[in-house]
Amino acid sequence: MSFADTLKQPLALPCGVSAPNRFAKSAMSETLGTVDNHPTEELVRLYGRWADGGTGILMTGNVMIDKRHLGEPHNVVVEDEQDLALLTRWAEAGKRNGNQIWVQLNHPGKQIPKMLATGDTLSPSAIPFAKELKAHFKTPRALTEAEIRDIIERFARAAAIVQKAGFTGVQIHGAHGYLVSQFLSGHHNQRTDQWGGSLENRMRFPLEIYRAIRAAVGPEFPVSIKLNSADFQRGGFTEEESMAVAETLANEGLDLLEISGGNYESPKMAGQGIKESTKQREAYFLEYAEKIRQRVSVPLMVTGGFRTSEGMAAAVESGATDIVGLARPLAVEPDLPNRILAGESVHSVVEPRRTGIKAIDDMAMMEVVWFARQLHRMGKGKDPVQNESVLMAFIRSLVMVAIRSSKTKRMKLRANTG
């Protein structure tokens, strides 16, 4: 079987829905909402571009469930139906060629930059960030029982709203150090009540979110989770714990498990610290996928590191993954799946982006801002610029983030005092 034949096979999900092929766009935070967190025409254009490029499942990036708690300026927030018309346009653009388009739902917890935070940041426990990041993030306040219940309800409400708008699935962001990931981590979650301590208690939060969403959307609507294989942090979420959580959610009826790893303090999802032997297999988390495959039958999606058509097909053929998750490659080559499905042997143009200034290049988020600029270009109807200066992109993004954060913070302060 050719690599194209392997990757063009549809995939049936437990809920009865089928993905049209074996490609998925993993969530990237577009930050293309308005200053007051509404969706925009830029998102409609961007997802239409990806839909035309042949990706079977399109995961949106970081749709927040509470406008008081944003991971970045210009996140889209879904709390009610006021944006239903534009959400519907966004959904229609993303599925216009038979694609699936799923909304990634998220709460940042304590992972809110100081320049954006206007009040308390929240987490399972009042544990600060490590010293390298402590200057950029507040020490959080521990969530109350009532606040935990409210957040669970918000996830379910947002899922029901995007289902009504025509999106075809949802994903819970349970990785990369955001709130769900914080609950799962023994380092970030040091509670002594039913939400902390044992793994059974720490996984209660994502399990209750899953159950609330499932009750809100019904049995035939795909519900996924993005889960860390591990936090790669002392005292944090371990690989064995991750497998136990995956097994529990699979038994609940989960439709797709996306595997990632790391957080802001240990950014494995960005490729930092990945062994050379792992890079040779392309995908960063295939070894974990092969282990979890022995324990669950839920479809798997592995994201991070895929660069060649042959490597993508080999991962699917081996059974290690069912879906090839792509992020950065689709930021610069939005038609990559179509080219591969047409039989073209492809090696993605994605490569490490460096400024040549060590202090900047060592920053995990430096490359992220370069790729985010390409999403913004596509949102404006332009093509990505594959050779854009990394340093200039970084400087421009810093200025833009500062301006956007200031505007968002002022707006939140006015709302809090109005």
Report yes or no on 364 lying in a domain: no
Q: Report the pLDDT value the prediction gives residue 99, as an integer from 0 to 100.
A: 98
Residue type at position 247: E
Residue with structure tokens 């982006």? 353
CB atoms within 10 A of CB 240: 10
What number of helices (H) and strands (E) belong to the chain? 17, 13
**Angle between the 84-94 and 145-165 helix axes, to the nearest 10 degrees?**
60
Residue 22 lies in a domain: yes
In a domain, 410, yes or no: no
Residues 223, 217 contacting (CB under 8 angstroms) = yes
The CATH number for 337's domain is 3.20.20.70
The pLDDT of residue 402 is 65
Tokens representing 60 are 């949106």
- Which positions ≥6 away from 23 have C-beta within 8 Å? 7, 54, 55, 56, 57, 323, 324, 326, 337, 340
Query: What are the strands, taking DSSP E only, across 95-148?
Result: 100-106, 122-123, 141-142
Q: What is the pTM of this model?
A: 0.90
Range of the domain at 247: 3-350
- DSSP lists the bridge partners of residue 240 as none
Determine whether 71 is exposed, middle or buried from the number of CB atoms within 10 Å of its CB (0-12, 13-18, 19+): buried
Q: Which two tokens stand for residue 259?
A: 């595997």
Return the exposure string of 116-132: e unless at least 16 CB atoms fall within 10 Å of the residue's CB, then b: bbbebbbbbbebebeee
Q: Is residue 401 part of a domain?
A: no
Token code pair at residue 84:
């239903």
Question: E strands, 281-406, where?
Answer: 300-303, 323-326
**How many domains is the chain built from?**
1
Q: In the structure encoding, which two tokens stand for residue 378, read together?
A: 């596509």
- Identify whether 383 is part of a domain: no
Q: For residues 291 and 294, give the distance between their C-alpha atoms in angstroms, rounded to a whole number.
A: 6
What DSSP letter does each residue of 91-109 carry, written as one string?
HHHHTTTS-EEEEEEE--T
Identify whether 143 is part of a domain.
yes
**Segments in the chain below pLDDT 50:** 265, 267-274, 276-281
Q: Please give the C-alpha separations between residue 101 and each of 12, 19, 27, 237, 244, in angstroms, as whole numbers.
A: 15, 10, 11, 29, 28
**371 occurs within a structural domain:** no
Distance between CA atoms of residues 123 and 271, nearest Å: 26
Tokens 């430096």 correspond to 366
Which phi-psi region, left, alpha or beta, contains residue 296 (left: φ > 0; alpha: ψ -120 to 50)?
beta
In this prediction, residue 223 carries a pLDDT of: 98
Report which of 63, 250, 251 is spatially closest to residue 159, judged by C-alpha positions.
Answer: 63
DSSP string, 207-234: HHHHHHHHHHH-TTS-EEEEEES---ST
Q: Say how far apart CA 107 and CA 180 lie, in whole Å.
A: 8
User: Residue 368 CA to chain centroid, in angstroms?
Assistant: 13
**What is the pLDDT, as a whole number, of residue 274?**
47
C-alpha–C-alpha distance, residues 311 and 303, integer Å: 13
Torsion from C-alpha of 73, 151, 104, 267, nearest 10 degrees: 70
Predicted local confidence at residue 271, as pLDDT? 45
The SS3 call for residue 75 is coil
